[in-house]
C-alpha cells in the first residue's frame, strides 16, 4: 500500500504522482491531493483506479456544505461517473489550459503563445446530448467504460433543459430497450429520443405515447458492435431532426449522429474562427460532419467543399445548405484520406476525431500547401503531434486557444490556425 501526493493532471484525466515504485497514474485524483492505494501494473504503467483520498483538494466538488446551508439551498446534485474532474469550475480552467500548453511544449516542441482558455458559458446544465443504459431494477444508469458495470443515476446535473425533463420522464418508463439516447435543442426547447435495442414493432405504441408526452420524435436503433447508431435506424414517431443555434449559425441536429453537445461553447468557437481566416477563392473542410465551418465561411470564399464519410451527416448538411441558400458549398461523401484528388485550396479546415490526422492527410497538407490551415481538435496530444509535423514542414502556428466544451471532465477543445 502506497501513500503519496498527486503532482499534476495529465491526458486521459489521470493524476500523475512520482513514487518509490515509479510514476503512478491515479484515476479521480486531483493535483495536490494526498491519496493511498495499491497500484496495479497495466500496459507497462502503474495505475491506481480507486484511491482512498486522505487530503482532498480544497476546491473538490461538491465539497462539504457550510453549516446550516441546507436550510437555504439544497446541496449540489452528485456528478455522474463521466465527470472525472470534480473540481470547482474556476479551478478546472488552468488545469485544462496547462494540458494544452504541456502538449505544445512536450509533443510539438514549440513555445508558441497560447491564448487564454475560453470557459463554457455554462459550467453545469450544458449538455444537449446524452446516452444512458436501462438499469435492470428500473431507471437510467451510466455504463462504466472498462468494466461495463451500471451506475444508477437519479439526476444528471450536466444536462441542459429540456433534457433534464426528458431524463426525469424516462427513468419512470419501463421501456424494453438496452439504452436510450437524447438529443435536445436549446433553440427550439425540444428533445429527440433514440431507443437502442428491443423490438421496433413492440416500441411503436410507446413511441407515439412518448411524443404525446412531449418528445419531439423517437427513432429505434439496432445494437451494433461498431457503435451506437451504426446499425439499422428506424423512425418510430414524430420529428427526425431539430434546429439548433451554434453561435451565428443555425443547423440541424439529430439523435443518431454526432453534433457538438455544448452548442453555446461551440458557437463561441465558430464566432472566433470566422475572424481568424483571410478568405479567398477555394476552401476545403475535412471531417466536416454536417458542414458547420463550410456553411459559416461560405460568404468568404468563392467555392467551399465539405468532405464527410457519414451519410446521415451529409444528409443534414445538404438540408442546411439548401435552407441557407449556400450555393457555393458542395458536400462530398468520401474518406478524408483521399483529399489529394481534390486539388489545392486557400484554406483547409480539419476537425478530426481524437486520433488526429492520419499520415495521408498530413502528407496531403504538406504537398498541397494551403495558405491557411484551421485546425480544431478534441485531443491536445494528437493536435500537438500534427502541429509539430506541419511546423516542421514550413507552417507557423499563428494562433491557438483552448476551449472548454466539457466542464467537469478532463476533455478540452483547441482552436488553432497555421499559416505559411
| Residues carrying an active site annotation | 378
Whether omega for the bond prior to residue 143 falls within 30 degrees of 0, making it cis, is: no
CB 2 within 8 A of CB 38: yes
Q: What is the crossing angle of helices 89-106 and 380-392, to 10°?
A: 30
Residue among 294, 257, 243 nearest 273 (CA):
294
Q: Where are the alpha helices (DSSP H) in 259-310?
A: 263-276, 292-297
Q: Which DSSP letter does residue 156 get?
A: -
Q: Which DSSP letter does residue 299 get?
A: G
Residue among 182, 177, 134 nearest 162 (CA):
182
Distance in angstroms between the alpha carbons of the first and the last residue of the chain: 53
Cross-strand pairs, 25:
16, 47
Q: Is residue 398 exposed (0-12), middle (13-18) or buried (19+ Cβ within 10 Å)?
A: middle
CA dihedral 268, 269, 272, 277 (to 10 degrees): -150
Grid coordinates representing 47 are 495505475
Q: Where are the alpha helices (DSSP H) in 143-291?
A: 163-170, 200-213, 263-276
What values do phi and psi take at 214, rounded to 5? Answer: 140, -10
Q: Which DSSP letter does residue 256 get?
A: T
Grid coordinates representing 193 are 429520443
247 dihedral zone (left: phi>0; alpha: psi -120 to 50; beta) = left
Where is 25: in which H helix or E strand?
A: strand 22-27
Grid coordinates representing 399 are 494562433
> Pairing relation of β-strands 301-308 and 280-286?
parallel
Grid coordinates representing 351 are 476537425
- Residue 354, Cβ neighbours under 10 Å: how many? 11
Amino acid at each position: 500500500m502506497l501513500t503519496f501526493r498527486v503532482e499534476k493532471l495529465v491526458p486521459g484525466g489521470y493524476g500523475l504522482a512520482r513514487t518509490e515504485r515509479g510514476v503512478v497514474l491515479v484515476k479521480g485524483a486531483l493535483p495536490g491531493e494526498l491519496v493511498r492505494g495499491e497500484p496495479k501494473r497495466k500496459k507497462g504503467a502503474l495505475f491506481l483506479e480507486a484511491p482512498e483520498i486522505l487530503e482532498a483538494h480544497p476546491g473538490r466538488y461538491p465539497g462539504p456544505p457550510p453549516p446550516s446551508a441546507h436550510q437555504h439551498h439544497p446541496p449540489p446534485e452528485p456528478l455522474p461517473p463521466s465527470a472525472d474532474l470534480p473540481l470547482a469550475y474556476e479551478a478546472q480552467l488552468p488545469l485544462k489550459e496547462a494540458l494544452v500548453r504541456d502538449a505544445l511544449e512536450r509533443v510539438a516542441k514549440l513555445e508558441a503563445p497560447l491564448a487564454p482558455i475560453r470557459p463554457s458559458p455554462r459550467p453545469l446544465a450544458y449538455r444537449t446530448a446524452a446516452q444512458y443504459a436501462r438499469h435492470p431494477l428500473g431507471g437510467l444508469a451510466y455504463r462504466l467504460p472498462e468494466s461495463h458495470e451500471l451506475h444508477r443515476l437519479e439526476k444528471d446535473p450536466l444536462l441542459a433543459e429540456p433534457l433534464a425533463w426528458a431524463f426525469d420522464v424516462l427513468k419512470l418508463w419501463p421501456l424494453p430497450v438496452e439504452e436510450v439516447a437524447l438529443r435536445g435543442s436549446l433553440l427550439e426547447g425540444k428533445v429527440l429520443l433514440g431507443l437502442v435495442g428491443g423490438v421496433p414493432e413492440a416500441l411503436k405504441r410507446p413511441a407515439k405515447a412518448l411524443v404525446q408526452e412531449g418528445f419531439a420524435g423517437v427513432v429505434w436503433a439496432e445494437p451494433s458492435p461498431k457503435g451506437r447508431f451504426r446499425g439499422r435506424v428506424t423512425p418510430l414517431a414524430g420529428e427526425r431532426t431539430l434546429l439548433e443555434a451554434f453561435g451565428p449559425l443555425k443547423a440541424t441536429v439529430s439523435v443518431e449522429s454526432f453534433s457538438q453537445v455544448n452548442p453555446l461553447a461551440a458557437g463561441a468557437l465558430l464566432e472566433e474562427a470566422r475572424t481568424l481566416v483571410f478568405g479567398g477563392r477555394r476552401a476545403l473542410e475535412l471531417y466536416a460532419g454536417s458542414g458547420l465551418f463550410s456553411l459559416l465561411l461560405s460568404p468568404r470564399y468563392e467555392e467551399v467543399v465539405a468532405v464527410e464519410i457519414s451519410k446521415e451527416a451529409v444528409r443534414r448538411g445538404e438540408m442546411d445548405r439548401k435552407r441557407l441558400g449556400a450555393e457555393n458549398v458542395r458536400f462530398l461523401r468520401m474518406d478524408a484520406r483521399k483529399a489529394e484528388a481534390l486539388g489545392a485550396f486557400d484554406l483547409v479546415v480539419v476537425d478530426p476525431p481524437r486520433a488526429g490526422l492520419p499520415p495521408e492527410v498530413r502528407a496531403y497538407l504538406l504537398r498541397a500547401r494551403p495558405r491557411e490551415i484551421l485546425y480544431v481538435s478534441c485531443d491536445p496530444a494528437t493536435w500537438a503531434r500534427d502541429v509539430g509535423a506541419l511546423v516542421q514542414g514550413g507552417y507557423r502556428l499563428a494562433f491557438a486557444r483552448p476551449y472548454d466544451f466539457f466542464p467537469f471532465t478532463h476533455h478540452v477543445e483547441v482552436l488553432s490556425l497555421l499559416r505559411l
